[in-house]
A and B are shown apart, each in its own frame.
Chain A
Amino acid sequence: GDSVTQMEGPVTLSEEAFLTINCTYTATGYPSLFWYVQYPGEGLQLLLKATKADDKGSNKGFEATYRKETTSFHLEKGSVQVSDSAVYFCALGGSMGDKIIFGKGTRLHILP
């Protein structure tokens, strides 16, 4: 069945460091891909999405490109801030119905 695999955390970086969180997927059909973020004490929020191959989603300095050939959707940010500390979930949707399938999440800690 469809699935998402993302790098395990926690990931700890210093402020202004470059961030990559790897995500790969397995899916039939043509899913949409998402990154959701969960800040401490808050609900899940959509960070960015891409709906077809080679699309790049971007928001708040974060980017991810839908790579069909490598079935990947890695999250990147050039310079992280303390306020980026959160749990990040890679997810896919729409391949087999309307449910979203989430990865296990990657906890990110940014040190000042």
Chain B
Amino acid sequence: DTGVSQDPRHKITKRGQNVTFRCDPISEHNRLYWYRQTLGQGPEFLTYFQNEAQLEKSRLLSDRFSAERPKGSFSTLEIQRTEQGDSAMYLCASSPQGGRTDTQYFGPGTRLTVL
């Protein structure tokens, strides 16, 4: 069990540029989640997948954000035309099946800084 991995760990970009983050969940975990954490706050839910199907999106996920999990394994989160307000830690988590009792395991996060 190698844990959830995320790449890159840090990303600095200029306003208006597009960025893409990758998340590799724990092997055989069907559920994959994306959260965003800003300084001094707890993580906020963005979206989640059951295998390759995106089942829920938060209203925090504007049209500039898109997430995919094409083969039900790794996932990508793309932010188009980045804004300074997008600066945050982007966290990925996975769980075996989902549901109210399932534990979500978090990756180390990707810290995005938009200049």
Contacts and interface: CB of A to CB of B under 8 A. Distances in A.
A66 B55 CA distance: 29
Nearest to A50: B101
Nearest to A52: B101
Contacts of B56: 97-99
Interface in A17-37: 30-32, 34, 36
Nearest to B40: A104
Please classify how large the interface on chain B is, using the bins under 10, 10 to 19, 20 to 34, 35 or more: 20 to 34
B106 A51 contact: no
A44 B40 contact: no
Nearest to B95: A98
Given A46-B105, A97-B56, A98-B31, A31 B100 contact: yes
Interface of B: 31, 33, 35, 40-45, 48, 55-56, 58, 91, 93, 95, 98-109
